[in-house]
Amino acid sequence: MSRPNFSLDDFKKWMKDHGDFSLDHFKRRSIEGTLVESKISSRKLAEKIIVEEGELHEIVVDFKENGGTVMEVNDRNLLVKVELGLFYIPRKYVVRG
């Protein structure tokens, strides 16, 4: 009795074609609600974030001291909530906290 052929590429295509069960969906869900911290200096952080709600300086200080929670994943950017506001930051500038 022979084993059925299994192709990882075919499996990835199948997952992608099945909407809510795509690999990207699982990646997004796994990071939402996660505590993250900055891996760059406060000065660079102030240059890289886009503030949605709150004051830039206060958000930078709050995020550096306490970290924040990922609320949404938008391509390579994360919407992060801190006590004093909301901001977008590229994923490459944060680490899980």
Query: What are the pLDDT digits (tens) for 67-88?
Result: 999 999 988 899 999 999 999 9
Q: Give the range of the structural domain holding residue 82, as residue numbers without chain letter.
A: 34-96
Within-domain flag for 9: no
Backbone dihedral angles phi then psi of residue 22, each to the nearest 5 degrees: -70, 160
> E strand or H helix at 86, and its extent?
strand 85-90
Amino acid 6: pLDDT: 73
Residue 10 covered by a domain: no
The pLDDT value given to residue 17: 72
Read off φ and ψ for residue 40, nearest 5 degrees.
-125, 165
**Strands 85-90 and 94-96, sheet pairing:** unpaired
> Is 50 among the domain residues?
yes
CA dist., res. 37 & res. 11, Å (int): 34
| 0.75 surpassed by pTM | no
pLDDT digits over 12-61, tens only? 777 777 655 544 554 555 788 999 999 999 999 999 999 999 999 999 99
Residue 28 lies in a domain: no
Total number of domains in the chain: 1
pLDDT value of residue 18:
64
